[in-house]
Amino acid sequence: MGFGDKWRSWIRTCISTVQFSILVNGAPANFFRSTRGLRQGDPLSPLLFLIMMEVLSRMLKRVEGAGLISGFKAEGSRGEGESVSHLLFADDTILFCDADVEQILHVRMLLLCFQAVTGLKVNVLKSEMVPIGEVNNVQALAEILGCRIGTLPMTYLGMPLGAPYKSPTIWYPILEKIRRKLAGWKKLYLSKGGRLTLLKSTLSSLPTYYLSLFTIPSHVANKIEKLQRDFLWGDSNPHLVGWDKVCAPLANGGLGVRKITTFNKALLGKWLWRFGVEETRLWRRLVALKFGEEWGGWSSKLARGVHGCGLWRSIRKGWEVFSNNIRFEIGVGDRVKFWTDRWCGDVPLQLSFPVVYGMASNREVSVALSLDQLGTEAQRSWNVRLQREPNDWELGVVDDFLRFLSSKLPHTVNGDRMRWTLTKNGNFDTRSFYHKLRGPLPIIFPWKGVWKVKAPRRVSFFVWTAVWDKIFTGDNLRERGLNLVDWCIMCRCNGETVDHLLLHCEKALQLWSLVFRSFGISWVLPKSVADTLFGWWNWLGKHSSSIWNLAPLCLMWCIWRERNWRTFEDMDKSEDQLLAFFSGSLFDWSRAWGLTSSESLPLFLSSLLCI
């Protein structure tokens, strides 16, 4: 395979010096040498295995070329085709051949030869023969290889192979995994902040592998999102904030949970990108062979057949939206249309200069044919052909057009490239496509004052709910049909609303006054919780510090705790006790996050004036 003597000697040394020692009765025994390869987990193991698989691949191609086995042939509409006899990925291998005794015997002899040459033996206990269609002698064929008989659909690389892509059954394993995860988590009595962390880190990631290939049916997406909603809020508890708001980004008042269907479309966009940039890949050649290519080869044609194209058809449907976010970098220019493709700005030339476009002699001409062919890039110049001379009133537009083109002259003669307009480096990114598909969200939300503060996650979640005016204060409970007295249990003077309880209640104002005195400022509280957090983070920047940003969240949390103690435990703190509770909580949180070096509460409170 072309490896040098020095490289082979290195590998031989790595293999021949491998030694093992095992524990016998808790103590390591003597070392012994390996006789069959490297130890498990050795960093060289994947490299050497891939080299061996290259040997197997070449042997299979040679056997197929000799006519001893026949792979399946992917054919295009004109009868042209490409044969595939095997697919390899790591240690998973699929072989394709006819249901013929001689071909199965040739496969067996090839595998025995491969074993003799490399020392790698096929594990027949983990192998299976899967017939496609009706095969009468499948039992006899399986006995030749000594493997079991499988059926379609089967699992290959974690994906269901041979099942209708819209079938609900292929999503059952994902739903079952989510339910198993939830069954364990629900026993842990997690806070809302903990549930949110698990939801974003684990639950949202479980279906990602399937979503990267299959278009998820709407009813399956609804089931997954219902499981997520019920876990976040509690199965029988009210869902305080709508799911669309929960799935919005943090900066727009959401929790950053991904919307399943939108995320699915963004992941499938990766295949549209790869089709345009991976010209030599096998999968791309097969798709182009079966469905054909649009001019330029950046996308396949629409899948219009009846059989065997449902999966790619569902992916190809996203091209119209996807193509709005690409432009082309000109090299030779033979794959990009001069007038209708985006290559010199955010819009094609037919829209930028419609008057000149109307005079074009060929509106489908490529960029290459609009350049002179003098040879080197230094000699290239534009040669745009018009079907008539411009009128006097059109000369200004034509002059602007030519001046614009002069700044867009290609500086390379390499191949044309597709560029993604939503990233700085021009490469496709699922995250950017997801945000584009989600669309603009004009909601202004004090997200920094909620999520960028070093506070316990459950506290940030509570304040986020309070900003949306959705915590269970008296007014919100009455809206849900509960017959309650309209009064604030803290001050017993006014009705209980979110803004009153956390900001303008007499007991709350005492805490706010303590905060202002501690930091040495004078400020009038705004009307709402949202405005307070906006002002706290933005308008009082000179006092900005981690402890300063933490103070309002700690204060609101302490008020909410005191309100609940009075409501459900009939326990009232005095003014001094409530102030001490807030000061102690702020001190404990600051120490836990490493925000202060003070060893005692008095030192901590005195240090606030210096912040």
Is 578:507 a contact under the CB 8 Å cutoff?
Answer: yes
φ/ψ (deg, to 5) at 94: -120, 130
Band (pLDDT 50/70/90 cuts) for residue 318 is very high
Is the pLDDT at 345 greater than 60, yes or no? Answer: yes
pLDDT of 376 over the 70 cut? no
pLDDT of 78 above 90: no
78 vs 195: which has the higher pLDDT: 195
CA contacts within 13 A on the Cβ side of 393 = 1
Contact 73, 83 (CB under 8 A): yes
Burial class of residue 529, CB neighbours in 10 A (0-12, 13-18, 19+): buried
In the predicted model, is pLDDT for residue 270 greater than 80? yes
The answer to whether the beta carbons of residues 362 and 385 sit under 8 Å apart is: yes
8 A C-beta contact, residue 203 and residue 175:
no
pLDDT of residue 39 exceeding 70, the answer is no
Long-range contacts of 118-121 (CB under 8 A, 24+ apart): 118/52, 118/55, 119/36, 119/37, 120/52
Residues 282-301 have a mean pLDDT of 92
- Segment holding 53, helix H or strand E: helix 45-65
Residue 80 has pLDDT above 70, yes or no: yes
Q: Could you give the angle at which helices 138-145 and 101-118 cross, rounded to 10 degrees?
A: 20
pLDDT at 375 over 60: no
pLDDT for the residue numbered 26: 83
Tokens of 249: 């980004």
pLDDT in tens, 591-603: 999 998 888 988 9
Task: Tell me the DSSP string of 431-455.
Answer: HHHHHHHH--------HHHHHSS-S
Contact 491, 511 (CB under 8 A): no
Per-residue pLDDT at 480 exceeds 80: yes
Helix, strand or coil, per DSSP, at residue 6: helix
**CA 475-478-480 angle, 5° bins:** 115
Instruction: For residue range 535-578, list pLDDT tens digits in order.
Output: 888 765 545 688 989 999 999 999 999 999 999 998 888 989 99
Cα–Cα distance, 466 to 498 (Å, whole number):
7
The tokens of 247 are what? Answer: 């799935």
pLDDT digit string (tens) for 452-461? 999 999 999 9
Q: What's the whole-number mean pLDDT along residues 3-22?
A: 81
267: amino acid identity, one letter: L
| Average confidence (pLDDT) over 80-90 | 86
Which residue, 463, 558, 459, is CA-closest to 508?
558
Least confident of 3-17, 119-133, 318-332: 3-17
Type of residue found at 446: P
Q: Is the pLDDT reported for residue 377 higher than 60?
A: no
How far apart (Å, rounded) are the C-alpha atoms in residues 241 and 252?
Answer: 14
* Alpha-carbon span 502 to 48, nearest angstrom: 65
pTM for this entry: 0.88
Are 319 and 269 within 8 A, CB to CB? no
What is residue 518's predicted lDDT score, i.e. its pLDDT?
83
Residues 6+ apart with CB under 8 A from 390: 359, 397, 398
Element housing 419 (H / E): strand 417-420
Q: Are 377 and 410 in contact (CB under 8 A)?
A: yes
Please tell me the distance from the alpha carbon of residue 333 to that of residue 408, in angstroms, as a whole number: 12
Q: How many residues does the chain have?
A: 611
Is it the case that residue 588 has pLDDT exceeding 90? yes
Handedness of CA 195, 199, 201, 206 (dihedral sign): positive
pLDDT band of residue 606 (cuts 50, 70, 90) is confident
Query: 36 falls in which pLDDT band (50, 70, 90)?
Result: low
In the chain, what percentage of residues exceed pLDDT 90? 60
* % the chain with pLDDT above 70: 95
pLDDT at 2 over 80: no
Three-point CA angle 145, 146, 151, nearest 5°: 85
Q: Which helix (H) or strand (E) holds 84?
A: strand 81-84
Q: What is the pLDDT of residues 393-422, one digit of tens each?
A: 989 999 999 999 988 888 778 899 999 999
**Distance from C-alpha of 510 to C-alpha of 107, rounded to nearest angstrom:** 84
From the list 605, 609, 610, 552, the residue with the least C-alpha distance to 583 is 605
Higher local confidence (pLDDT), 429 or 75 = 429
236 Cβ contact list (under 8 Å, min separation 6): none
Report pLDDT for 178.
Answer: 94
Q: Is residue 503 over pLDDT 90? A: yes
Higher pLDDT, 458 or 20: 458
